[in-house]
Structure formats: C-alpha cells, structure tokens
Amino acid sequence: MRTFTGAMIALITLAIFSISCSKEQTLSSITSPDGNMVVNTALNAEGTPVYTVSYKGKTIIDTSAVGFEFKGQEYLGKNMIIEGATTSSKDETWEMPWGEQREVENNYNELKLSYSEQGDSPRKFNIFIRVFNDGFGLRYEFPEQEYMTEVLLMDEHTEFALTGDHDVWWLPGDWDIYEQLYSNTKFSAIDAIAMRDHPALVATYIPENAVNTPVTMKTDDGLYLSFHEADLTNYAGMTLKVDTQNFKMTSELVGSERLGGKAKLTVPFNTPWRTMQIGESAGDLIESNLIVNLNEPNEIGDVSYFTPMKYVGIWWEMHIGKSTWDMEGSQDMNTYIEGAKNSSRHGATTENAMRYIDFASENGIKGLLVEGWNTGWDQWINTTDREGVFDFMTPYPDYDFDAVMAYAKEKGVEVIMHHETSAAPRTYEKQMEVAYNFMKKNGMNSVKTGYVGKIIPEGEYHHGQWMVNHYHKVLTEAAKKKIAINAHEPIKATGKRRTYPNAISREGLRGQEFNAWSPDGGNPPSHLPTIAFTRMLSGPIDFTPGVFNIKFDEYKTTNQLNTTLAQQLALYVVIYSPIQMVADLPEHYMVDGEIHPAFQFIRDVAVDWEQSVVLDGEVGDYVVIARQERGSDNWFVGGITGETVRAQEVSFDFLPEGKTYTATIYKDGDGAHWNDNPTAYAIETVEVTKDSRITIPMAAGGGFAISIMAK
C-alpha cells in the first residue's frame, strides 16, 4: 500500500486543535477516489469521536458518534484525544475464482485515526475509514495496550445519523433468522417488534426495534443507500437499532445469555467493517463490490475442487409433501404427522436417487443433492433434545449409499452431501472431521449444511459471536479437506467468500421453500425484486429456483408459488449463486413424455460469470440483469417484476461491437399472471446485435429470461 503524496495530501485536512473555540474539533477528512464522497471526522465537546459523510456536497450521514461499553469498565468513547492520523490508498484488481464477475476493482483511500483516553490508565483504539467510489467502510482496531487485555463487550455504539425520513426496505433485527419478509416503510414507521411471532419459524428472537442488515434505503433526492457489515469474524453480528424520531441507527450487537454480553475479546482485535454502499441508481448497489473488497484476499488457495454447477435434489418433494426425510414416514417439513409411521414415503431411496441421476445426466446438470439419506430424521425437530440425532455416515437401509455413488460416477453426476446439524453445533464440531473424511473418501466436494431450530446450548443465537465462530470453523476445517460449504440457516454473508472461496452459497433469506409451507400465501411477488437489492448485496443465495409446477397440483393444493413460470427461469440470472438448484421434481419438467420446451433455458444458462451488468430496476418493483458466461461469448438476461405489469425495453448495448447473436426469449405468455395463469409462456428466437432494442412484456409476478448465444 502506498502512502499519500503530493496532490492527494491536499484532499486531507489534518487540522488537529486548529479550531480552538468551536464545539467540535475537526480532525481529518478522507475523500473517495472520484472525489464524490467525503468522510469528515472530529472530536465533539465531550471528546467523543464523531464523523459525517457527504456525497457530491450533500450530507448523507450527519454527526454520528462512536463508542464502546465493556463489562466492569467506564464507557469508552469520551475524553478521547487524537494521537495520530495517517492516510494510504489502494488501486488494485483481483480475480474471483468464481463469481458475478472475473475481475474486481478495489480502489479506495484510507484514513487511520489513533485515539487515546485522557487520564492515568488510558485505553486506546484506532478507527480505519476506507472510502470507495461506491461507499465507505469503518472499522475499529484495538491494538495491544497496557490497560486493556481480556474484555467482555457489552455493546458497540456506532451511529448512523440519517438526514431524512428515507424509504426503507427492512427486515426485523432477528438474532436467529433472516427468513422474515421484508417490509417497505418510511424510516419513521419501522416497527420490528410487530414481527415477533412468526408461525413458520422455529427459531426467532427480536429483542429491540432494530433491523437486520443489509438494510436498503432511498432518499428523497433519489440516492440509494445500503448499510451492512463486512468481514464478520470473531465478533457478534450487528443489528441496527432505529430511533424513528431522530432518523438515527445505532449498532446493537447480537448477544449471548451464556456470555452475559455481546462478545468476549482479547486485545489486540479488529471489529468487522461497518459499511454503507451508495448508488445513483438502484442497480449501482448490485454492481458494487464494496463488501468483498473489505475482506482479506484468498487465504485457502486453489478451490478448483469446487465447480460452479446446477444441481437437482431429493428435496422439493419433501417440502411439498410427496415424500418424507425419514424412513419411518413421519416427517415432511413442518407438518410433523404424529403417528404417521411406516407410510413408506421415504424420498431418499436408492431407486429415487438413480432416477434423479438419470434426469441430471440427460440434461447436462452436474449435481445431485440427497436429503434424508442418513438416519435420525424421525427425531430432528420434534424431540426436546435434538443433540446428536444424526451421524453423517449411516444411510437408511433403503438407501444403498455405495450403489448410488457408483451410479452417479458412471453418469458423470457429482453428489452433494447434506449435513442437517439440527442447530447442535457442539456435536457437529465433534463429528466434522470424520464426516468430512467420509465425504472425501467417497468423492464428494461440497456439503449443504443446516441449522434448523433454536441453537443448542440455550442462550446462544445464530448470529451471536459463538455461532459466528462456529460457522467460521466449519469453513476453515472444510477448506483443509477441500470441501465447499452451502449453509442454510447460516450466519449472514459479509464477503468472507473472498478470503474463503469455499463459502460458495448460503440461504439466509426466505427461500423458495416457504412457498411450499405457507397455505396463507408464501412469498409475495414483491419478495424477489426486494431481495435483489437487499440480501443479495451481501453475497450468493441458494434460493432454489426453477419450479415449474407452480400450484403443487398433486400435493399441497392449498399452497403455491407467487410467480409465473417465466420468472422462475429469470431467477437463474437475477439471483446470483455459483450453485443453482433445478428445484422441481423430474416429472414436473415433462409434458406428454417430452421435456418441457422452457426447460431448454435451464439447460443452457451459465452459473459462473465473466461480468454482470444491471440494466434496470427499482427496489421492490423489478430488476433486469445481464451476465456474460465465464470463458465464453454467451450472455444471459433475466428480468423479474413484482405485482406491476411492465413493458420492459431491453437494450443489448452490453454486447460487443460487430457481432450477431441468436437470442431465445422465454417470456410470460398472453394472459399470464402469477395467480390466475402462472404457466402461460412463450418462446421466441431472434437475431440481436449491440444495437438491438426489444420490448418484452412482464406479467404480474412475471419475468423473462434470454439466452444470447454467440453465432
């Protein structure tokens, strides 16, 4: 990293103690490489470090204080003095082993401020502020020091003072789960507490009027902001407590009753980065790489053991009630049928697995997930003690593990392991080594993990420090064995995939499966156009798209998806993940003995990208994204809309000059509607060049997908 010189120095005003009689002492400022964003720092009259942020001359974050509360100590963040300020900058390009794009530009200016308390036993901390063209990050460092060693953090008080009553897309600040629906209200109307009782969530805890992150906003001036955190390591997850009267957010960390605080820390330590992304269009937020840039480079080396892929699974059939996870026949998801034993509806049988393998290999799909292959599923949610109900080695007697593995190998299909931990991480940590060795011995390179239920032991939450460390341990132990992780009920994504690219995907949102469980509605049409601008800013999503049987005709007839079939196709492009499920049952992709014509898009669509461009969109309304396949000239476009019918103009000017492509457009058919006529679709093939403009209709809850193949 080089230090500022010459002209750059002019951007930094280091005026310590210069304004002696004013209330606030201006310290230093740091400006984004393009000069649009400025973060100013100061000490207020109490000696509290404060900062403000402006964008193109307008204040975005007004005077916001920082501070910490440690057990048995005085509040840290008053009577501070500044001991030093240094600046540096970086302008580099790094490569993603897999991702939304190959090359990522990492360009920022950084200010480091060193603070010390006044008095006899001064405590110290440093603040790092990195300003990029697309936002800023702020992190604290507690360096080695005399009067602080082991501490119990009771809370961190980082403020974000907003400058208006913004329009906000928010999730309640649930300490356990991110599977709530987003609300869209004015900041002043945020009421997280009203979301406490959720019928379909077994673990949920919302102690404060706080929001989870990423939380996305639109200002009256038409700017888009999203607040989150990056590099959440050995610390508690951050929710943002809202002061609806004063438009202020303050960090509120996830706690632990066992700990009696928020995080146990040993000096020296760093906190995660507190981040704000900014965009002049909603799509700018999606194109931003701020979160990954605020993580350390790859520490685990080559991850080519993981291949980005589409996968089928013995999975959706349990969610819609066709089959069960357990062989005893009592378990389909959240409809535990007491006494319904021996109903012979076990999904993971040898025969069924082979049927999925055939389907995958016939359609060029590389992966197969099998859930319910291992014993223990009759106990997993309904016992009072879920500890140790699974080992990850013993198949049910009707699942010939070796035969399935051999058949998959013969057909060129890779089997994905499933480890549902029942939210019993202590047991899982004991089992991990053996379970990962078992996987590798059998040629398995990735595992879907799960943490359904309240964390055992009681008093810990999915997003507390103890679990942050557990999820981290899973990543690092798996990396040692060359195993990739797709976690459900995960810790939130904070860009750690840069450092640990075996963190391939995760849930951490209300996924497709909710549609199967909710007779009262499932995910509303606005859900995914919201997700694209909120949850997706944090990282890849295992959403599990591609359901064609929209109304679950033979099974849960009271439940359904709230999208059209064309939108299901579009999701392969819109919702990014290096693994994409082809979620429906093989038989649902067949029409009169032939593969469904729209399935061709799923066959063709890529899962790993050279570059991604957001063509259009508004948070919660609609979004259109184009992505170029990695290592090829092919492009794919996906567009989705919520309730609003749209005539979407697509300009193909993302294509290179002078080339002609064959574009196959999969769109909503005449009269399509997510509820009244979800499966009406049309397919059209046209030639396109960089100059083409095509208007494509999107039905309510609809969308379109385009494959653009180089000729």
Instruction: Name the site residues for Ca ion (rule: CB under 5 A).
Output: 488
The set of residues, in sequence order, having a beta carbon less than 8 Å from that of 167 and lying 6+ positions away, is 184, 185, 186, 187, 217, 218
- What's at 551, amino acid-wise? K
| Footprint of ligand NOJ on 237-266 (CB under 6 A) | none
| Residue 380 C-beta: closest distance to ligand NOJ, Å | 8
Q: Which of ligand NOJ, Ca ion, none does residue 420 bind (CB under 5 to 8 Å by kind)? A: ligand NOJ
| Residue 474 C-beta: closest distance to ligand NOJ, Å | 15
Nearer to ligand NOJ, 134 or 507 (CB): 507
Instruction: Using the CB atoms, write b or e for 239-250: b if 16+ within 10 Å.
Output: bbbbbeeebbbb
| Residue 333 C-beta: closest distance to ligand NOJ, Å | 6
Nearer to ligand NOJ, 67 or 508 (CB): 508
Cα–Cα distance for residue pair 160/29, rounded to 1 Å: 17
Show the binding pattern over residues 478-497: x = contacts ligand NOJ (CB under 6 A), - = does not.
Answer: ----------x---------
| Residue 633 C-beta: closest distance to ligand NOJ, Å | 35
Between CA 90 and CA 102, with CA 96 as vertex, the angle to 5 degrees is 95
Show the binding pattern over residues 345-374: x = contacts ligand NOJ (CB under 6 A), - = does not.
Answer: --------------------------x---
Reference 294, options 112, 463, 494; nearest CA is 494
Q: Does 513 bind ligand NOJ (CB under 6 A)?
A: yes
Cα–Cα distance for residue pair 2/109, rounded to 1 Å: 10
For residues 314 and 515, the answer to whether their CB atoms sit within 8 Å is: no
Cα–Cα distance for residue pair 525/629, rounded to 1 Å: 28
| Residue 336 C-beta: closest distance to ligand NOJ, Å | 13
Give me the phi and psi of 375, to 5 degrees please.
-65, 155
Nearer to ligand NOJ, 75 or 336 (CB): 336
E strand intervals along 32-67? 37-43, 49-55, 58-65
Nearer to ligand NOJ, 37 or 571 (CB): 571
Alpha-helical (H) ranges within 150-281 are none
Cα–Cα distance for residue pair 409/333, rounded to 1 Å: 30
| Residue 452 C-beta: closest distance to ligand NOJ, Å | 5
Reference 369, options 323, 331, 319, 315; nearest CA is 315
Q: What is the DSSP letter of 75?
A: P
- The CB-nearest residue to Ca ion is 488
Q: Which of Ca ion, ligand NOJ, none does residue 584 bind (CB under 5 to 8 Å by kind)? A: none
For residues 229 and 273, the answer to whether their CB atoms sit within 8 Å is: yes
For residues 649 and 694, the answer to whether their CB atoms sit within 8 Å is: yes
Nearer to ligand NOJ, 154 or 333 (CB): 333
Token pair 């060795």 is found at 437
| Residue 51 C-beta: closest distance to ligand NOJ, Å | 39
Active site residue 643: no
The set of residues, in sequence order, having a beta carbon less than 8 Å from that of 475 and lying 6+ positions away, is 485, 496, 500, 502, 503
Q: Which of Ca ion, ligand NOJ, none does residue 371 bind (CB under 5 to 8 Å by kind)? A: ligand NOJ
Nearer to Ca ion, 463 or 488 (CB): 488
- What's at 645, amino acid-wise? V
Nearer to ligand NOJ, 488 or 497 (CB): 488
Residues that contact ligand NOJ, how many (by CB under 6 A): 8
Cα 37 to the center of its chain, rounded Å: 26
The set of residues, in sequence order, having a beta carbon less than 8 Å from that of 81 and lying 6+ positions away, is 43, 47, 115, 116, 117, 118
For residues 451 and 506, the answer to whether their CB atoms sit within 8 Å is: no
Cα–Cα distance for residue pair 566/528, rounded to 1 Å: 14
| Residue 545 C-beta: closest distance to ligand NOJ, Å | 13
Reference 287, options 544, 616, 530; nearest CA is 616
Q: Which of Ca ion, ligand NOJ, none does residue 159 bind (CB under 5 to 8 Å by kind)? A: none
The set of residues, in sequence order, having a beta carbon less than 8 Å from that of 202 and lying 6+ positions away, is 334, 381, 452, 453, 454
Nearer to ligand NOJ, 134 or 371 (CB): 371
Nearer to Ca ion, 168 or 516 (CB): 516
Cα–Cα distance for residue pair 256/466, rounded to 1 Å: 8
| Residue 79 C-beta: closest distance to ligand NOJ, Å | 49
Show the binding pattern over residues 431-460: x = contacts ligand NOJ (CB under 6 A), - = does not.
Answer: -------------------x-x--------
| Residue 347 C-beta: closest distance to ligand NOJ, Å | 10
What are the Cα distances from residue 164, in Å, to 59, 159, 161, 187, 248? 10, 15, 9, 8, 9
| Residue 489 C-beta: closest distance to Ca ion, Å | 5
Nearer to ligand NOJ, 353 or 452 (CB): 452
Q: Which of ligand NOJ, Ca ion, none does residue 460 bind (CB under 5 to 8 Å by kind)? A: none
CA diameter of the chain: 84
573 three-state secondary structure: helix
Nearer to Ca ion, 283 or 453 (CB): 453
414-420/367-370 β-pairing: parallel
Catalytic residue among 420, 460, 513, 629: 513
Q: Which of Ca ion, ligand NOJ, none does residue 508 bind (CB under 5 to 8 Å by kind)? A: none
Active centre residues (catalytic): 513
Q: Report the interface residues with ligand NOJ, using CB under 6 A.
A: 315, 371, 420, 450, 452, 488, 507, 513
